[in-house]
Amino acid sequence: MQVTTICGSLRTNSFNRKLLKLATKVAENLDAQVEDLDLKKINLPLYDQDIEDAGIPANVLDFKKRVEQSDVLIIVSPEYNYSISGNLQNAIDWLSRGGNSLNNKTVAIMGVSAGPFGTVRGQNHLRQVLSALNVQILTQPQMLVRFAAQAFNEDGSFTDPKSQEVLEKLIKNTFELHNKLK
**Where do contacts with ligand FMN occur on this chain (CB under 6 A)?**
9, 11, 14-16, 78-82, 112-115, 117, 148
- Which residue from 129, 130, 109, 131 is spatially nearest to 120, judged by alpha carbons? 109
Which CB, 16 or 96, lies closer to ligand FMN?
16
Min dist. Cβ of residue 119 to ligand FMN (A): 7
Min dist. Cβ of residue 123 to ligand FMN (A): 11
Min dist. Cβ of residue 106 to ligand FMN (A): 23
Which CB, 24 or 113, lies closer to ligand FMN?
113
Min dist. Cβ of residue 47 to ligand FMN (A): 19
Which CB, 84 or 107, lies closer to ligand FMN?
84
- Which residue from 124, 126, 119 is spatially nearest to 15, judged by alpha carbons? 119
Which CB, 17 or 178, lies closer to ligand FMN?
17
Which CB, 158 or 175, lies closer to ligand FMN?
158
Min dist. Cβ of residue 80 to ligand FMN (A): 4
What CA–CA distance (Å, rounded) separates 59 from 43? 8
Question: How large is the C-alpha radius of gyration of the chain?
Answer: 16
- Which residue from 162, 171, 156 is spatially nearest to 118, judged by alpha carbons? 162
SS3 at position 42: helix
Cα torsion through 1, 165, 129, 76, rounded to 10: -80
Give 73's strand partners.
4, 107
